[in-house]
Structure 1
Amino acid sequence: MSAENHDPLAGFDTVVHAPNRLRICALLDTAGEAEFGLVQQQLALSASALSKHVTVLMDAGYVEQRKAVRDTRQRVWLRLTRRGRVAYQGHLAALRAIVGPTDPPV
């Protein structure tokens, strides 16, 4: 692999970078899969705001949803796709490259 293909800034992803989309990706990366209402509650977003951000992530192929009935109600579960996980991890690497190494506390 050449040095030009290993540029950590190449992973910077404007789709993921928006603060709420970054938070959604972080939550789903940790949780694996989460119910829409839980994501909404954890991130303190309105349903419409969350829906808009999830739609952008879905259009990019980064998030997929699964609908299921639970407690007699239709629920929507969200999860990162493999592509979304790669994009999120690449974006984190790019952000770390931008801010540089942090010195450990003395």
Structure 2
Amino acid sequence: MEFLVQVDGSRVYTLPTDERDDLIRRERERGRELLDEGVIQQFWRIPGRRGNVGIWSAVDADTLEEALTSLPIWPYADIEVTALATHPMIRQR
């Protein structure tokens, strides 16, 4: 199943510098793992904001929840998830 995941990490920047830098370092490591595992299919930064949007893949919403809560940024992020369905025009190919 694919999901559109929007992450706003603005609140991370209210943390003390050392704590913020460590959190961002750990977040990047976990993000790379999720990319290598195929959970994160693609993602993009949102210009002018401290956020990103991406296509995530998981067998179901519970598995996606596990991946999202594994992110070090989880307690500080506002995350919006939209389940995606295949468009009928794509199914006709």
- TM-score, normalised to structure 2, is 0.37
Q: Which has the larger radius of gyration?
A: 1
As a proportion of its length, which structure holds more strand? 2
Say which structure, 1 or 2, has more relative contact order (CA 8 Å, 6+ apart).
2
